[in-house]
Amino acid sequence: MVLSMQHVYIHELMSVSVKSVPADASLDEVVRMMHEHVYSCMVITDDSRPVGIITERDMVKVLSELLVMCPTRTFYVADFMSSPPVCINEDATLYEALVITQARNIRHLPVVNARDELVGVLSYADMTRAHFNAIEKQRDIIEHHIRERTRELSEANEELKALSLQDGLLGIGNRRSMEVDVQFTHINAVRYKRPYALALLDIDYFKYYNDHYGHQAGDEALKAVVKVVQKSVRSSDRLYRYGGEELLLLLPETPLQEAVTVCERATEQLFKEGLPHSKSPYAAVTCSTGITAMVGGCEGDWESMVAEADKWLYQAKEQGRNRVCSGLAALEKHT
């Protein structure tokens, strides 16, 4: 049976990590929290009951009133703008735009042409409407094909799956959305000469784990690893399922040394978690990690970055697993 929008409930979509403050909280505190954690709104509560909400639109109103109160002072947009901007090419797809906005938690994308000239702006509301229409259209196609032809139903169903941004088992970005995000991050890093790093994480002796505990237990172990890693990395870092038991961690605006620190913390925390693995020499679920980072705005492609991380991952396995390997030692030697 194909589920329509009427079968998807709010409790399945909502964020449970809601942020709220009491009505007597200072505006300074709210602005600081929204800025530091990239919140688009803060809910105002009284004894856990919502009594109001502060949104980005309210912040614009506050700023407008501030400008009226200070008519002699000139404020320049350069002092407040986010830079460099996250832009998208006019020939990009809706899927790519959804991946970028979701990964970066932003609501507006300036649209540029092949010469990097501004030609428009794409809002999250625009994308939501288009995504809704695409899913509903695909649902209609599937329902029609159920009545008509099984083969065409299968093809339409595959197209519907292609709209997914997440891995169904782990609840993190899937391989397809990972490729979009990494490619987009790489292009912008080259364009603006900004750093970024990526890491490949592979669960050690996972085949032995599945053989001993069973594939269902293996799925639960994968979920547990994802939770530990997500708690150990920063909110700006993005985790994807690369394939099988391999994860890819994208670390924007991050030089190599900082990326190594983040990944070592995640590796250590996973070992401390002590998830039992009797077929591992560590007697616990661990992971090996290979890291690479863009240096000096190198114009190679993103696939080369992934291949480099994979090389360091192989070295981590060769050195005994449960460790992080990168080119940091060589980099420090030459600096």
Residues with a catalytic annotation lie at 245
- What is the separation of C-alpha 70 from the centre of its chain, rounded to a whole number of angstroms? 40
DSSP E strands, 135-235: 196-203
**Contact yes or no for 325/316 (Cβ under 8 A):** yes
Other Cβ atoms less than 10 A from the Cβ of 198: the count is: 28
Q: Which of 324, 243, 326 is nearest to 288 (CA)?
A: 324
Does residue 84 have a cis peptide bond before it, meaning omega lies within 30 degrees of 0? yes
Q: Which of 85, 174, 98 is nearest to 131 (CA)?
A: 98
Integer angstrom CA distances of residue 87 from 91, 100, 237:
12, 10, 19
Q: Is the dihedral of CA 96, 129, 230, 22 positive or negative?
A: positive
Per DSSP bridges, beta strands 238-243 and 246-252 are: antiparallel
Give dist(CA 273, CA 280) in Å, integer: 15
Give dist(CA 133, CA 111) in Å, integer: 21
* Structure token digits, residue 250: 């994208």
**Contact yes or no for 242/293 (Cβ under 8 A):** no
Beta bridge partners of 246: 202, 243
* Structure token digits, residue 123: 């809002």
Give CA torsion, residues 55, 61, 65, 70, to 10 deg.
80
Residue 193 DSSP symbol: T
Give dist(CA 51, CA 42) in Å, integer: 11
